[in-house]
């Protein structure tokens, strides 16, 4: 059976059903199989090498009992890589391996430095457009914007400029293969010059090394709106014995409707987006949140 076929959800069911039979023997590994698998990729984080090896070896054993062979493990710990039989070490691995589309601009994890980074590469976009020598068409502009893989919204505020720019192409009633008019091209070229620097942007994978010793962890969500867009961003406020860490967790942006809306209505849309985003963060993390602030 292959992933992507109509019958492929059966694989997920078998994986989870098989794991449940080991609940009393390996409770943490079973929870990991339920919560840390993304289709056929297993992604998890641990405090120590010993804990990582213990859980990962159990996960491998449980899945192997029904013919699911996990391989190509990668870790920022060389010892874990060796024990899990990774083979040759890689500099960076793609976190979206299951995607076979041509969205090459994906999120990468640098194993050596333990940093997330953005590596840029495009398909089906003219070389002259990439080099800034030709005005992009409406179709090419959409192709560039949609190719950027940013699940955490790390670049959300930066990408919002391009989303608003694309929305303006609809207001000017451009056809898909029409070149951007001079006014929009000037905005585009300013954004594209900044985009070239994304390769130099790195984000630590670990939110904070003080989470285990935190006296209090709060979740703070900020929201705002304008006539162009509305946004919500989520931060962790981690109070520990040394200081207070404020860590960006994720962000989400939405362009405003083409129809002119009142500011109270736009503010309310931001107020709907914010609790949805914060609830997602709380549900998908095992962090004990003591207080939620909007």
The Cα–Cα gap between 46 and 77 comes to: 11
Q: Give me the pLDDT at residue 27, please.
A: 95
What burial class does residue 194 get, using C-beta atoms within 10 Å of its C-beta: 0-12 exposed, 13-18 middle, 19+ buried?
exposed
SS3 assignment for 170-221: HHCCCCCCCECCHHHHHHHHHHHHHHCCHHHCEEECCCCCCHHHCCEEEEEE
Q: Do 229 and 193 belong to one domain?
A: no
Question: Do 19 and 77 have their domain in common?
Answer: yes
Residue 11 is predicted with a pLDDT of 81
**Global confidence as pTM:** 0.80
170 half-sphere exposure, CB direction, 13 A CA radius? 9
pLDDT of residue 114: 84
> What domain range is 242 assigned to?
206-293
| Whether 132 and 176 share a structural domain | yes
Is 188 within 8 Å of 180 (Cβ atoms)?
yes
Residue 79 lies in a domain: yes
Of 35, 67, 89, the residue at which a domain comes to its end is: 89
Q: State residue 106's pLDDT score.
A: 58
Over its length of 294 residues, how does the chain's per-residue pLDDT go in tens digits?
Answer: 666 778 778 888 889 999 999 999 999 999 999 988 877 788 888 989 999 999 999 999 999 988 888 888 888 888 998 899 755 444 555 554 433 322 333 568 888 888 888 877 777 888 899 888 899 999 999 988 887 888 889 999 899 999 999 999 998 999 999 999 999 999 999 999 998 888 888 888 888 888 888 999 999 999 999 999 999 999 999 999 889 999 999 999 999 998 888 999 999 999 999 999 999 999 988 889 999 999
* pLDDT at residue 98, rounded to an integer: 39
**Would you say residue 106 lies in a domain?**
no
Structural domain includes residue 99: no
Domain membership of residue 225 (yes or no) is yes
Is 2 part of a structural domain of the chain?
no
Q: Give the pair of three-digit tokens for residue 166.
A: 């694309």
Paired sense of beta strands 115-118 and 107-110, if any:
antiparallel
């Amino acid at each position: 059976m292959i992933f992507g076929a109509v019958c492929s959800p059966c694989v997920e069911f078998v994986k989870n059903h098989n794991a449940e039979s080991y609940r009393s023997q390996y409770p943490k590994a079973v929870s990991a199989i339920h919560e840390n698998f993304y289709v056929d990729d297993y992604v998890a984080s641990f405090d120590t090498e010993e804990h990582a090896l213990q859980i990962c070896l159990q996960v491998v054993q449980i899945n192997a009992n029904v013919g699911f062979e996990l391989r190509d493990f990668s870790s920022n710990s060389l010892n874990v890589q060796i024990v899990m039989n990774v083979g040759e070490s890689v500099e960076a691995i793609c976190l979206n391996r299951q995607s076979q589309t041509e969205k090459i601009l994906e999120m990468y994890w640098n194993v050596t430095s333990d940093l997330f980074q953005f590596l840029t590469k495009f398909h089906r976009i003219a070389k002259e457009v990439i080099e800034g020598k030709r005005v992009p068409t409406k179709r090419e502009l959409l192709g560039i914007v949609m190719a950027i893989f940013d699940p955490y919204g790390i670049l959300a505020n930066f990408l919002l400029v391009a989303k608003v720019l694309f929305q303006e192409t609809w207001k000017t009633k451009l056809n898909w293969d029409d070149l951007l008019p001079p006014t929009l091209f000037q905005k585009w070229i300013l954004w594209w010059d900044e985009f070239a620097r994304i390769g130099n942007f790195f984000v630590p994978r670990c939110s904070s090394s003080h989470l285990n010793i935190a006296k209090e962890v709060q979740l703070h969500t900020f929201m705002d709106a304008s006539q162009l867009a509305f946004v919500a961003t989520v931060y962790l406020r981690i109070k520990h014995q040394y200081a207070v860490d404020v860590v960006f967790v994720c962000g989400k942006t939405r362009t405003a409707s083409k129809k002119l809306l009142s500011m109270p209505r736009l503010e309310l849309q931001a107020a709907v987006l914010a609790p949805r985003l914060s609830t997602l963060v709380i549900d998908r993390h095992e962090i004990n949140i003591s207080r939620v602030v909007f």
